[in-house]
Chains A and B, each alone.
Chain A
Amino acid sequence: MGLTKGEKKSLVFMLIAILGFMPPVTVWANRVEPFVLGMPFLLFWQSLMIFGTFVCMALAYFVTEGADRK
């Protein structure tokens, strides 16, 4: 039971993916301007964080594989 060595290192990526949607980050992102890609900033930020979740989990994958398959 418990997480593997690699997974423990990867927990930080899970936290980044979750906290990006949570206050205080969303308190900062909760604005209309600047518009990015035509979208008001809050909607843009959330779209970016969805992609960011993919990037975080990809990093988590490589870190976990790297540490656990030596």
Chain B
Amino acid sequence: MTITLVIIFGWLLATTIVGVMAGRNRAFSMEEYFVAGRSFGLVLFYTTAAAEIYSSFAFLGLAGWAYSKGISITYALAYGSISYAIYFFIGPRINRLGKRMNYISQPDYLEDRYGSKGLGILVAVVGVVFIIPYLQLQIMGSGLIVQLASGGAITWQTAVLISFVAAVIFVYVSGLRGIGWTNFMQAIIMLVGMGSVGFLISNHYFGGVGKMFETLVQLKPTHLTLPDTSGNGLFWYASTALLSGLGFWMWPHLFSATYSAKSEHVVRRNAVILPLYQLAMVPVVIVGFAVAAKVGMDPAFGAKIAKPDQAMFVALLDSMPAWIVGLLGAGGLAASISTSSGLILTAANLTARNILQKGLKQDMTDMQVAKTGRLLVPVYTAVALAFAFLAPSMLVNLLITGYSGITQFFPGVVLGIFSKKPTKAGVIAGILVGLAALFTYQFGGIKAPFGLQPGFVGLILNFVTVLAVSSFTKPVEADRLERFEKVLSTEEAA
């Protein structure tokens, strides 16, 4: 076995052990398993969130897009920042509601807020439907990273099987607490990898980042301003960044991760420091540009890159010693596993809690929900693995479709926090209209107006529908509103 593989799988083994150990001596319960007993402090919540947020896309997709299309990839820099600015206001309230009302999932909140079991089930089902492709994407990303880093010595299928047996073990045993502690390690190695890679490769080929960009501006000037080589312009950039920024915290796994923070103050302080983690994405974008410049000078090098997502690792193998490739491989695998483990647990949570206990099988106790959820961890992993092996496809497009779908929860969630007007019927109609618009554009072959993201049009129609339908349907009961008013207007003591 090569040094590269020893480092990657050594790291995987170490995180698995930490993940399993994290759950020792903890009494098993629904709250402990799905939201780590609402116990994460500033640092643990920071690394848990960062590692769940930054996925294999932060290694493969970011560099691949910058390499093949150009600077329109920076929508990904913009939307993270936008989402943290919004999180400052909504995050603490989501955490507070979770604590006072004992929520463990995203539909728990929506169901209770609007007094509708149907809404809860709808949101849970839609959540699972969008989690599976996202999980599949992460699985394929992890396999690709290990296959590339090993120079093809190990196939992506083998790499995926090893990695996801490990992930299932620690998620099954320790739930979110296991994810929290593994993510602490994953966030650090991701930061090391992402932070260093841009400078390493630029220095090797060009003697510095500045010289690399001077070369690129001569060879591929369209890569560096909008519209870039792909034709994506400022309007596309702004609408995609805004859409993804709004949708960001609507992802069910990030929403319920917010419940795991010890207090709303931990959440608010994290809204301040999470943007700093974003800075690690800049060097990865720079790698993509460095490879584009390298290929511009040496077209034969381009022939080695079969797909854009391979750009970073092809350049690493060409220019760096095995141990650095190993560290980057471990970082990329960490990015993928940390996001996947959150997705797996959340799909299990949504199913056991909201589709079963609050839907099909209402006599379930909380302990049965925890046990059923735990059983679903390997089941959902197997489903996503089956999709990955049988229906592989390109990384970024799937992510954008998922984002557009998840963002349709935004009006119901945010209006529910700040306004008494929206009704049960309004929120349900809004989500359905938003999703219908999205699917019509995405799969009906119709172009959205002004080159906007289909999901963005869906979101606007969604908002309009919520407001319109709410104006003539039955308002939320007064005692329910009063209960929420009371919690939302009394901040937790520091």
Contact = CB atoms under 8 A, between A and B. Distances in A.
Given A57-B271, A57-B275, A23 B234 contact: yes
A14 B86 contact: yes
Contact of A43 (B245, B282, B484): B282
Contacts of A14: 85-86, 88-89
B200 interface: no
Interface size class of B (residues with CB under 8 A): 35 or more
Contacts of B221: 32
Given A4-B491, A27-B234, A51-B279, A60 B88 contact: yes
A70 interface: no
Interface residues of A, number: 41
Given A4-B491, A68-B491, A43 B234 contact: no
Contact of A21 (B241, B271, B273, B488): B241
Interface string A31-65: 11001011110110011011101101110110010
B17 to A, nearest CB: 34
Interface string B231-271: 00011011001100100000000000000000000001101
Nearest to A45: B74
Nearest to B489: A1
The 6 closest A-B pairs by CB, nearest first: A38-B210, A21-B78, A53-B81, A38-B209, A17-B85, A53-B275
Interface in B76-101: 77-78, 80-82, 84-86, 88-89
A55 to B, nearest CB: 9
A53 B237 contact: no
Contacts of A22: 238, 241-242
B279 A42 contact: no
A39 B213 contact: yes
Contacts of A21: 78, 81-82, 238, 241
A21 to B, nearest CB: 4
Contacts of B419: 1
Contacts of B176: none
20 contacts: A1-B484, A1-B488, A14-B86, A17-B84, A22-B238, A37-B210, A38-B208, A38-B213, A39-B286, A40-B224, A42-B71, A43-B71, A43-B74, A49-B81, A50-B278, A50-B279, A51-B275, A54-B276, A57-B271, A60-B272
A67 interface: no
Nearest to B417: A1
A35 B279 contact: no
Contacts of B276: 51, 54
B225 A3 contact: no
A42 B225 contact: yes
B24 interface: no
Interface in B208-230: 208-214, 217, 221, 224-226
Contact of B268 (A13, A46, A61): A61
B485 interface: yes
Contacts of B208: 38
A47 B84 contact: no
B236 to A, nearest CB: 11
B209 A39 contact: yes
Contacts of A11: 89
B366 to A, nearest CB: 29
